[in-house]
Amino acid sequence: MKNIITICFMLCFTVSALGQNNKRAIKVYQKAINAAAVSEYDEAIQLCNLAIKLSEPDYKSEFMLFKGMTYQIMEEEQLALNVYDEIIALDGYHTYKAKSFRSLLINKKDYRVKVAQESNDEKDKEETITKNPDLDLSIENLQKTKGKSIGIDVPFAAIETVPVYPGCERLTTNAERKNCMSQKIQKFINRKFDTDIGTTFDLEGKIRILVQFKINTVGEVIGIQSRSPNKYISLEAERVVNDLPIMKPGMQHGKPVTVVYSLPIVFQITS
């Protein structure tokens, strides 16, 4: 009987100690959030590290996710990737979001590399034209090549044949497909967007986010940009948009083109 009482006491003491550790970790984590709110990101990272050290496994991944997001906002891409990989290895509650943020980071990194390469190619073309005065730049020759290039961006409102979102294939007119696509994207955002990120920073009222992205010539979402009152909210919006499914690309002059799409996101936070 005495042994049973001793074991029970030890278990209760252990549970109590674990609870105290988590409480201290949460307090430190709140300080990290406060530091991030005023763009003190280095301090936020240090406080996240302390919260992770103090916390038990059930809280650890949440603190790690915030750390990864902070690194991503700081444009410390490799450090962010390392954190996301650690979360994924834990295979816990935040694994899905870690994979999602990781995918966004790689997508944006690949897009920057592509844009830089295209910029270099354009410079090479300009140098070729300058060095080759006999190059045929006549109106007749330029008209022959009209429509052959797919390296243009067309606004969604002006596209001849709109991109087709999965589930909108049965519709035939541009107007119907545009409406279908807009509705399905809005439903996707409403379902996937984590509005808790707003309450994390004690924000209240109506929060507006403007996201712009491109649907490339194979129907992938690229070139995601956003603007909002808070960088973490912007990052969450970009994460969700990056998870949009592959679509049938838009067409201009019978050729697939990159289509620019602007998406306003509005949600309400009540105290």
pLDDT value at residue 137? 44
Residue of 250, 267, 268 whose CA lies nearest to 259: 250
**Residue 190, pLDDT above cutoff 80:** yes
Residue with tokens 């410390």, as numbered in its chain: 76
How far apart CA 192 and CA 239 sit, in angstroms, is 9
Mean model confidence pLDDT for the chain: 86
Same fold, 2-104 and 145-269: no
Average pLDDT for 60-78: 96
pLDDT value at residue 189? 96
Average pLDDT for 151-164: 91
- In terms of CATH architecture, what is 2-104? Alpha Horseshoe (1.25)
- Please indicate whether residue 172 or residue 9 has the higher confidence score (pLDDT): 172
Average pLDDT for 170-194: 95
pLDDT value at residue 186? 95
Domain boundaries, the chain: 2-104, 145-269
52-228-202 Cα angle (round to 5) = 50
pLDDT value at residue 17? 45
Residue of 260, 264, 27 whose CA lies nearest to 153: 260
pLDDT value at residue 127? 57
Count Cα atoms within 13 angstroms, Cβ side, for 79: 14
pLDDT value at residue 78? 96
**Residue 150, pLDDT above cutoff 80:** no
- In terms of CATH architecture, what is 145-269? 2-Layer Sandwich (3.30)
**Residue 79, pLDDT above cutoff 90:** yes
**DSSP string of 192-221?**
H--THHHHHTT--EEEEEEEEEEE-TTS-E
**β partners of residue 155:** 260
Confidence band of 8 (pLDDT split at 50, 70, 90): very low
